[in-house]
């Protein structure tokens, strides 16, 4: 006759061993999604600011456009994080807009923050 062992706590032990790995994986997916989203917003803000600089030829308006075009960033993008070169746009020159942003990570497992950079170049005058 075969004896049956009591396995009433086996599922709880297996669950306790697997849960930390699953939580780490979940936090990694969440952090990657946040970083990817912020990078897309920073790049889009730089692209829109370069377009405004190439057409309007006003650096202040270009910087304001970059700040307004990234509303989902927390903390918000500031004018000090947007660089426009050259300061004046003439025909047949390139307007370069660089947006730098430091994204704070939620979990802190992969560091406290990640620096992100968006850069766009457009020919002045259309």
* Tens-place pLDDT, residues 35-85: 999 999 999 999 999 999 999 989 999 999 999 999 989 899 999 999 999
> What DSSP element (H or E) covers 51?
helix 10-56
Q: Output the pTM of the full model.
A: 0.82
What whole-number distance in Å separates Cα of residue 47 and Cα of residue 29?
27
Q: Which residues of 65-74 are buried (b: 16+ CB within 10 A; e: fewer)?
A: bbbebbeebe
pLDDT exceeds 70 at position 108 = yes
How many percent of the chain have pLDDT more than 90?
67
């Amino acid at each position: 006759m075969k004896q049956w062992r009591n396995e009433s706590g086996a599922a709880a032990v297996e669950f306790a061993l697997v849960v930390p790995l699953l939580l780490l994986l979940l936090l990694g997916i969440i952090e990657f999604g946040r970083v990817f989203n912020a990078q897309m917003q920073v790049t889009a803000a730089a692209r829109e600011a370069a377009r405004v600089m190439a057409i309007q030829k006003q650096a202040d308006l270009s910087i304001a456009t970059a700040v307004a075009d990234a509303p989902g960033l927390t903390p918000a993008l500031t004018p000090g994080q947007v660089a426009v070169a050259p300061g004046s746009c003439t025909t047949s020159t390139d307007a370069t807009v660089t947006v730098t942003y430091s994204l704070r990570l939620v979990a802190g497992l992969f560091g406290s923050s990640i620096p992100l950079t968006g850069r766009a170049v457009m020919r002045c005058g259309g």
